[in-house]
Amino acid sequence: MMGMSKIVKTMVSVALPLTLIYGLYIIAHGHLTPGGGFQGGAVVASGLAMLVVSYGSVWTMDRIKEKHLSSLESLGAFGFIGLAFLGLIFGSWFFNNFLLGNEYLFGMIGEGASNINTAGVIPLMNFAVGLKVIAGLFAIVLVMAYATSKKGGDL
C-alpha cells in the first residue's frame, strides 16, 4: 500500500500524539469516568491505523516487526492472568481484590473520594487489557495491509 501526499503526512504527525494521549487518558481513568481498557485500546489502535494508512504499509513494516507486537500482546495477557492468580495466593478465592485494605498502593475506599488511588486491583487490570487490545488490533491491521501490497505478497 503506497503512502499519501506530503500534506497528509504532516497533519498525521501533528494529530497522532494527541490521539495517543487521549486514548491513554481513557485507559488510566477507567474506574472513575466512562471508559476502561477495551474502549481506550480501540481509540489508540485507530490512531495507529491512521499511521499505516498515511505513510504506507511497506514503510511501517520496515520499522515495526510483527514479532515485537506479538510479544507485547502476550505480556498483556500474562499480566491479566497473573493478577488473577495473585488474588488466589494472597486472598482466598480466584480474582480476589487483594489490594483493597492497605494505604500504600491503590487501596482507599470511601464515598466521594474520587482520586486515582482507589479501587484496588482494577486500574492494573485496565492497563493489562489495554496493552493487549492495542497490540492485537494494530497487528491485525498491519499484517492485512502488508499482505495485499506488491512487495509483501503476490496479489
Which residues of the shown chain bind another protein in the complex (CB under 8 A)?
Answer: 30-36, 38, 66, 70, 73, 77, 80-81, 84, 95, 97, 100, 108-112, 114, 118-120, 122, 125-126, 129, 132-133, 136-137, 139-140, 143-144, 146-148, 153-155
Listed residue (80, 72, 92) closest to 139, CA to CA:
72
Q: Residue 131, SS3?
A: helix
Question: Smaller CB distance to another protein: residue 9 or 31?
Answer: 31
Residue 114 DSSP one-character state: -
* Nearest distance in Å: CB 46, another protein: 12
Contact 123, 31 (CB under 8 A): yes
Question: Smaller CB distance to another protein: residue 5 or 94?
Answer: 94
Question: Smaller CB distance to another protein: residue 51 or 128?
Answer: 128
d(CA 123, CA 41): 14
